[in-house]
Structure 1
């Protein structure tokens, strides 16, 4: 059995705004604390994982790197686990978009496949790269327990894949900062064990 814990990054510096693959803010102090709390505190001496996998973006890697050192676990960056690209919405806040482009903002949530922000990564392309990255991890690390430090969009895509639900449903899944989602893969296929736990100590 292969187990994958998907940990969303904590709050980034700069507050709430759309950060896809085009905005690479670091974690805020609070965001870093959120992530340490999720794994049991700032001085973990052990964990259930065999290795740590991270998106290359700072809001993920700035936590994954010190955690890998603390636990003496190998760390691998996987570029295909970066967040979906939001095009012209990169760096803009939901409040700003609601005020300045209300029709486009609401259209996106009604039809995220076709009502994309200008220049945004096509959602079907995003799903293909995330599905491919996860399939590759499972193939390379069969039987291991992985911690994947990544983004809300990646976790949404993984949940959709595990449940075989349409990509259009992605944005109906809320993923909080530093929430943990667990997938298991065995000879029966992929199973979703839980979504959005805040403390892995509750997840044994």
Structure 2
């Protein structure tokens, strides 16, 4: 077997219209600031073999623009959409704290046992991300991939690669707007080894 290295550059979407909230599956577009954040995070000289994106427009619109500009193939992966926050979709943390402070406190203390009311269980979210990750890790072997997705998705991917417990996956790593991370996957005769190479601002 020939050894191979696959690079996944992850980037969270920029600021959406409406500002910070539990957005989840709420399909808001990027604000003007969000577009600028994304464009500032990518250098002209950078190139990938494939752009992979969440289907939500705060990710897909920029991914499509970038793929077209650079002449790169674009793939939309539904499995990389954000966690669904159920009854909290479209609400701010301040609003939830005002009305049901105990619910949001339980979520931050134990998100595995106390998901948002009507929301996606963290274990199900983890399984969805894991399945999509393993699929694309195989399909994109030996390539350089840019994945445009969400803070929750990136946090979960980093947690899985770094063996962070599920209950800490949502709070262990800060992922601000347009934050970039790099995962490296080496497929060798000794097995598949994945690691985090970088996280945060990059030198462009």
TM class, shorter-length: over 0.9
Runs of 4+ in 1 over 3 A off after TM superposition: none
- TM-superposition CA deviations, 1:11-60 (whole Å, max 9, x none): 00011111112x000000000100000002xxx3x423111000000000
> Which runs of structure 2 are paired with 1:135-174 in the superposition (5 Å)?
135-172=134-171, 173-174=173-174
**Alpha carbons 1:7, 1:148 under 8 Å: kept:** yes
Alignment of 1:49-198 (within 5 A): 49-172=48-171, 173-186=173-186, 187=188, 189-197=193-201
- Report the Cα distance in structure 1 between the residues aligned to 2:77 and 2:151, rounded to whole angstroms: 16
Would the aligned equivalents of 2:16 and 2:34 in 1 still touch at CA under 8 Å? yes
Contact 1:18 1:91 in 2 (8 A): yes
Match of 1:185, SS state, is: strand
The 1-side partners of 2:30 and 2:160 are apart by 28
SS in 2 for 1:56: coil
Quote the RMSD (CA, aligned, Å). 1.1
Does the 8 Å contact 1:9/1:178 carry over to 2? yes
* Residue-by-residue CA offset, 1:71-130 (whole Å, 9 max, x unaligned): 000000000000011000000001111111111111110000111111111111111111
- Identify the match of residue 22 of structure 2 among 18, 24, 49: 18
How far apart are 1:183 and its partner, in Å?
0.4
Distance 2:104 2:198 in 1: 30
Deviation at 1:194, TM superposition (A): 1.3
Scaled by the length of structure 1, what TM-score is found? 0.93
Q: Is the 8 A contact 1:27 1:59 kept in 2?
A: yes
CA contact (8 A) 2:86 2:119 kept: yes
1:6 alignment partner in structure 2: 10
Q: How do 1:42-53 residues align onto structure 2 when only pairs under 5 Å count?
A: 44=44, 46-53=45-52
Gaps of 5+ in 2: none
Would the aligned equivalents of 1:38 and 1:200 in 2 still touch at CA under 8 Å? no
Normalised by the size of structure 2, how large is the TM-score? 0.93
Instruction: Measure, in 1, the Cα distance between the counterparts of 2:113 and 2:97.
Output: 19
Aligned residue for 1:84, secondary structure, equals coil
Give the aligned length: 195
Instruction: Report whether the alignment pairs 1:32 with 2:70.
Output: no
Q: CA deviation at 1:200?
A: 5.4
